[in-house]
Structure 1
Amino acid sequence: MDKKTISRRSFIGKTSLVATGASLVGPSLFGAPAILKNYGKPNSKINGVQIGVITYSFRSMEDQSAEATLQYILDCGVSAIELIGDPAEVFAGRPENPIDMNKMWGLRRKKRDEELTEDEQKELDDLSAQQKDYDSRVSEWRKSDHKDKFAEFRKMYNDAGVDIYAFKPRNTFGLENSDHDIEWGMRMAKVLGADHVTVEHPSDDAHTLRLGKLAKKHGVYIAYHGHEQQTPTLWDTALEQSNYNALNLDLGHYVAAGNDTPLDIVRAKHDRIKSMHLKDRQTPQNNKGNLSWGTGDTPIAEALQLMRDKKYTFPGTIELEYKVPEGSNAVEEVKKCLEYCEKALK
């Protein structure tokens, strides 16, 4: 029996009580009180602020299938997500990835932090070459229609009480990608129910112009994520180019980049922020650490309270990037992050 089968059975078993409860109230819940419609489903919208999680947070969990990922989300009590492409794309039949992505991400992070050794650089170069070959096979796969499988994926998640507000497919919106790749990602986002896709800010004005035009064509926003290159003006050109260009602000990285008043950009650009990543990083003076929530320099609670008080509508997305403590796992740590949000917002 493979992991996917085990995961599917586990998911069905754990949610059977919800299904039984629904069947007891009749063949349809149409017109029933909301408490019955939502019985047994998660709700991470707290005092008007939607708290979500990016599924990248569960990258350390052994089973990465669509069913297992959904169970992780439910176990955390989260009701809305930014979906990294892997669970949905594999569910839809994407060619198997032979690359150890956790290894690649770790090496890329070390390179970004200028900590790579010579041998590690060679290893990263080899993995990058393999990635390029794999990306070409995925691009070919995307030439077929996968709407039905993505719609099936969405139904599975929505029926369990999880909405998908953002989609971040792997290696889809880059400079090297064809218009077909980019438009595929936007079309699948809409099938999933997402109103925006997310991508690393390319620092290329011609490319943000291109992406903005394609986003307008498909009626889906493209929200640019940043790391330590984030400044108050990073997004200005893209925002001027298209009303469909937006921010996927990362508050933790913004602090680590040395921006002294991080809440100012939230206030100034709230109407162009589609979602905001939450993590607790330190300032450059404190070595830019990525720490458990409440121990770093990022004003997570204050940002959430600003969102609540000003009635900003974009979600706050938990992104688990600090080291998972020994004896714990990603699900338990995301739960702690959600509890932190609840305390801040109550």
Structure 2
Amino acid sequence: MKPKNSIQQRRSFLKNSTALIAGATLLGPSVFGAPSFLNFTTQPNSKIKGVQLGLITYSFRTMPDQSAEATLQYILDTGINAVELMGDPAEQYAGKPESPVNRMAFYGLMRRKRNNELNDEEEKEFIEMQSKLEAYSKTVAAWRATVSMDKFVALRKMYNDAGVNIYAFKPNAFGKDNTDEEINWGMKAAKALGASHVTLEHPSDDAHTLKLGQMAEKHDVFVAYHGHEQQTPTFWDTALEQSSHNALNLDLGHFVAAGNEAPLEIVKEKHSHIKSMHLKDRQTPEHDKGNVLWGTGDTPIVEVLQLMRDNKYTFPATIELEYDIPEGSDAVQEVKKCLAYAKKALES
């Protein structure tokens, strides 16, 4: 259990870091879909004291426009210059067939199902959505088999010209149900976007991690496996033994919520295999595992960032906004608060 004075210190830290965003201005108007916003003079910079602070664009899932252009504007508005890009904005930009399912609604149900919170009606809705998505996935697979990489190269240029680097790519293309053509497509698209690695949920299947590692070697990209509360200190060991191109996309918040002790130790032990690390503030099982405002939970965000700074770890620390957005705010404003918190940690 976390000592009371430690919690008070972190809340004081949170109060001070939140104040850093006061008076912050947007880098440009929100122009959803129009390229004219690229005419700017100030570029973002979220590399602080040698630590690259980034974000996963899943953080913007509640924003009204999910296009690649709008997503870039959200990123610029936060002041962040490096991202883990979800598949949808990039694929939509490249002309992917439109989904019959509202992704925002599906992600919300998926998260609630993961937490065993669905009622009978929601469970039925979730199953219906899954059925539609299974049919849609076949359409997408056929599209991926023939689509050119030109649009992905163009998207990379648009982001790079705005000062934003894409370090990871997370399309829904690397699962056991995806074809080899889709896996190859995902790795080629990652290269076209300039990403060093792709990310996916760990499949908990040794044969599949072996296959992905071998395919990644051919494309010269890394496969970084993400985990939720199934993470343990040995969770990635088999995949790491299978291929030099298998790696970690550690989620420190979920690691804490899983009840693992000494979360900083896995960062120290596995740092050479971590390609990127998700940051969120979750509570331990003793505190109900909540996903909470940064600085009010049990995840050692300050300590891990300072560990990265002091040991010159080069993998990005990826902000993932998953706590409930307060009334009157939005995802962009909350990411800015997380960034301010992380910045203060690194400058302390």
Q: Distance in 2 between matches of 1:307 and 1:341?
A: 12
Task: State the Cα distance separating 1:6 from its structure 2 match.
Answer: 4.9
Secondary structure, counterpart of 2:74 in structure 1:
helix
TM-score by length of 2: 0.90
Secondary structure, counterpart of 1:8 in structure 2:
coil
The match for 1:278 is: 279
1:16 partnered with 2:10: no
Q: Distance in 2 between matches of 1:68 and 1:288?
A: 33
Give, as a single letter, the amino acid of the residue that structure 2 aligns with 1:16: N
The match for 1:180 is: 181
The match for 2:106 is: 104
Give, as a single letter, the amino acid of the residue that structure 1 aligns with 2:39: S
What are the residue-to-residue correspondences of 1:139-178 with 2, within 5 Å?
Answer: 139-170=141-172, 172-178=173-179
* RMSD (Å), alpha carbons: 1.1
Give, as a single letter, the amino acid of the residue that structure 1 aligns with 2:33: R
The match for 1:125 is: 127
Give, as a single letter, the amino acid of the residue that structure 2 aligns with 1:56: Y
Kept after mapping to 1: 8 A contact 2:55/2:83? yes
The match for 1:25 is: none
The match for 1:219 is: 220
Deviation readout 1:127-167 (Å, 9 max, x if unpaired): 00001011110000011132110000000000000000000
Task: State the Cα distance separating 1:178 from its structure 2 match.
Answer: 1.0
Q: Distance in 2 between matches of 1:121 and 1:8?
A: 35
The match for 2:61 is: 59
Larger mean Cα displacement after TM superposition, 196-205 or 103-112: 103-112
Task: State the Cα distance separating 1:243 from its structure 2 match.
Answer: 0.5
Larger mean Cα displacement after TM superposition, 213-222 or 111-120: 111-120
Deviation readout 1:76-108 (Å, 9 max, x if unpaired): 000000000111100000001120112211222
Q: Distance in 1 between matches of 2:317 and 2:31?
A: 32
Kept after mapping to 1: 8 A contact 2:291/2:322? yes
Give, as a single letter, the amino acid of the residue that structure 1 aligns with 2:51: V
Q: Distance in 1 between matches of 2:66 and 2:103?
A: 12
Give, as a single letter, the amino acid of the residue that structure 2 aligns with 1:181: E
TM-score by length of 1: 0.90
Deviation readout 1:164-186 (Å, 9 max, x if unpaired): 0000012x100111111111000
Secondary structure, counterpart of 2:244 in structure 1:
coil
The match for 1:23 is: none
What are the residue-to-residue correspondences of 1:57-96 with 2, within 5 Å?
Answer: 57-96=59-98
Task: State the Cα distance separating 1:17 from its structure 2 match.
Answer: 3.9
Task: State the Cα distance separating 1:318 from its structure 2 match.
Answer: 0.2
Provide structure 1 residue ranges, at least 5 long, that are not aligned to the other structure.
Answer: 19-39
The match for 2:140 is: 138
Larger mean Cα displacement after TM superposition, 94-103 or 241-250: 94-103
Q: Distance in 2 between matches of 1:271 and 1:113?
A: 32
Secondary structure, counterpart of 1:308 in structure 2:
helix
Ranked by relative contact order (alpha carbons within 8 Å, sequence separation 6 or more), the top structure is 2
Give, as a single letter, the amino acid of the residue that structure 1 aligns with 2:108: G
Task: State the Cα distance separating 1:57 from its structure 2 match.
Answer: 0.3
The match for 1:7 is: 32
Q: Distance in 1 between matches of 2:197 and 2:319?
A: 17
Secondary structure, counterpart of 1:167 in structure 2:
strand
Deviation readout 1:24-76 (Å, 9 max, x if unpaired): xxxxxxxxxxxxxxxx1111000000000100000100011111100000010
Secondary structure, counterpart of 2:230 in structure 1:
coil
Task: State the Cα distance separating 1:122 from its structure 2 match.
Answer: 1.3
What are the residue-to-residue correspondences of 1:40-59 with 2, within 5 Å?
Answer: 40-59=42-61
Task: State the Cα distance separating 1:7 from its structure 2 match.
Answer: 1.8
Deviation readout 1:199-228 (Å, 9 max, x if unpaired): 000111111011111011110000000000
Task: State the Cα distance separating 1:16 from its structure 2 match.
Answer: 2.5
Q: 4+ residue stretches of structure 1 with deviation over 2 A?
A: 14-18
Task: State the Cα distance separating 1:115 from its structure 2 match.
Answer: 1.8
Give, as a single letter, the amino acid of the residue that structure 2 aligns with 1:307: M
Kept after mapping to 1: 8 A contact 2:224/2:275? yes
Give, as a single letter, the amino acid of the residue that structure 1 aligns with 2:102: D
Kept after mapping to 1: 8 A contact 2:31/2:70? no
Q: Distance in 1 between matches of 2:31 and 2:299?
A: 39
